[in-house]
Amino acid sequence: MVIHKAVIPAAGLGTRFLPATKSTPKEMLPIVDKPAIQYVVEEAVAAGLNDVLMITGRSKRTLADHFDAAPELEATLEAKGDLARLELVRASTDLADVHYVRQGQPKGLGHAVLCAKHHIGNEAFAVLLGDDLIDARDPLLPDMLKLQERTGGSVIALLEVEPDQINPYGCAAAVPLEGGGLDEVRITGLVEKPDAADAPSNLAIIGRYVLNPAVFGVLETTGPGRGGEIQLTDALATLAGMPAEQGGGVYGVVFRGRRYDTGDRLDYLKAVVRIAADRPDLGPDFRNWLAEFVPSLHT
Ligand code: UTP
């Protein structure tokens, strides 16, 4: 069965980005002139996932409004004949079939994914974290979808980090996948945010998953883990040890492209600078300015 549903958890508190995220979800922060979440929905649609379920919490309105029609704004732009901006406004409305469910309390990423159970039913689906931005020029999801189709299990995305940088991430113990490609692995164990000394590898879990629906049954019996939150990583560790007939087996794709954690202030700034510098409209002027500004930092 072809996977066509994506879940985007966007109900976290975003405490690393306060006070900006006091009343605005971090997923709505602009990367140049487009909210981070729109890049994520565009990535899902580009991979054939047109049915998008957003897990929202407080301040759901701004997220839902962004993917809804804006009749007054559209009428004003139309009256002015500003067709280019009208097209930009309508692009997010027409992008995908977007649904919403509220998480109630932010009890963790695993709990957020469990909120999607009724919408997803008994089919495999993708999860894209709303604050994790994969550069559109380095597509990752298509490889993950293919690996899920081949194995029938669940697939996670992995990034090689410096060993002392593993602590903010979930970490995977992995072996090469028999008969698999160079960047494909089989997961033998997972641990959430380990200290560098206890980490089983330097493979960090990043915010893209393609999951077998067996994950819901596992999440229902997964208690609070690290930080008192229901962790998706803990449920995946259980799935990795389950037989294939029960929907078990977890695999990984090692990602080597450009990726930004837009919920982290420094990574957010890097994303804005890189994407602005590459934009055909703003890039030339911005790069000229950067070329003057950067040397002045060293004087
Ligand atoms: P993070 O741990 O990065 O999100 O969760 P956070 O808690 O919002 O961030 P900080 O650390 O306080 O700044 C990863 C993803 O999971 C979602 C977040 O919205 C983010 O996309 N999430 C997390 C939920 O949807 N619900 C939760 O209960 C927790």
- N-to-C CA span, the chain: 60
Structure tokens at 237: 């560790």
Ligand 1 atom nearest the C-alpha of 8 is 21
Q: Determine the pLDDT at residue 298.
A: 78
Q: How far is CA 253 from CA 39, 90, 177, 256, 292, in A?
A: 21, 34, 10, 10, 39
φ/ψ (deg, to 5) at 107: -90, 10
Report the separation in Å between the CA atom of 294 and the middle of ligand 1, taken as the mean of its atom positions: 33
Report the separation in Å between the CA atom of 81 and the middle of ligand 1, taken as the mean of its atom positions: 41
Residues with CB under 6 A from ligand 1: 9-16, 55, 103, 106-109, 111-112, 129-131, 263
Q: How far is CA 14 from CA 54, 84, 101, 150, 194, in A?
A: 16, 33, 18, 36, 21
Q: Ligand 1, from 59, 107, 109: best to mutate by most atoms within 8 Å of Cβ?
A: 109
Q: Structure pTM?
A: 0.95
Q: Determine the pLDDT at residue 53.
A: 98
281 in any annotated domain: no
Distance CA 212, CA 123 (A): 7
157 in any annotated domain: yes
3-state class of 128 per DSSP? strand
Distance CA 231, CA 228 (A): 9
Distance CA 54, CA 261 (A): 18
Domain CATH for 81: 3.90.550.10
Ligand 1: residue whose CA is nearest its atom 10: 14
Give the chain's residues under pLDDT 70. Answer: 299
271 in any annotated domain: no
List, in sequence order, the alpha helices (H) in the chain: 36-46, 60-66, 71-80, 83-94, 109-114, 117-120, 141-151, 214-220, 232-240, 265-278, 283-296
Ligand 1 atom nearest the C-alpha of 12 is 8
272 in any annotated domain: no
117 in any annotated domain: yes
Ligand 1 atom nearest the C-alpha of 131 is 21
The DSSP string of 176-233 is: EPTT--TTEEEEEEEEES--GGG-S-SEEEEEEEEE-THHHHHHHTPPP-GGGS--HH
93 in any annotated domain: yes
Report the separation in Å between the CA atom of 88 and the middle of ligand 1, taken as the mean of its atom positions: 28
Q: CA torsion, points 178, 182, 187, 188, in degrees to nearest 10?
A: 60
Ligand 1: residue whose CA is nearest its atom 5: 12
Report the separation in Å between the CA atom of 12 and the middle of ligand 1, taken as the mean of its atom positions: 3
CB-based contacts of 68: which residues, under 8 Å, 6+ apart? 93
Q: Domain span at residue 231?
A: 5-263
Report the separation in Å between the CA atom of 32 and the middle of ligand 1, taken as the mean of its atom positions: 22
Q: Name the residue with tokens 């259980």.
A: 238
Ligand 1: residue whose CA is nearest its atom 23: 12
Distance CA 282, CA 46 (A): 24
Total structural domains within the chain: 1
Distance CA 230, CA 227 (A): 9
Q: Determine the pLDDT at residue 192.
A: 87
Q: Ligand 1, from 13, 58, 230: best to mutate by most atoms within 8 Å of Cβ?
A: 13
3-state class of 16 per DSSP? helix
3-state class of 108 per DSSP? coil
Q: Determine the pLDDT at residue 277.
A: 96
275 in any annotated domain: no
Ligand 1 atom nearest the C-alpha of 11 is 25
Distance CA 31, CA 37 (A): 9
List pLDDT tens digits, range 157-216: 999 999 999 998 999 999 999 888 889 999 999 988 999 999 999 999 999 999 999 999
* Residue 64: half-sphere exposure toward Cβ, Cα within 13 Å: 12
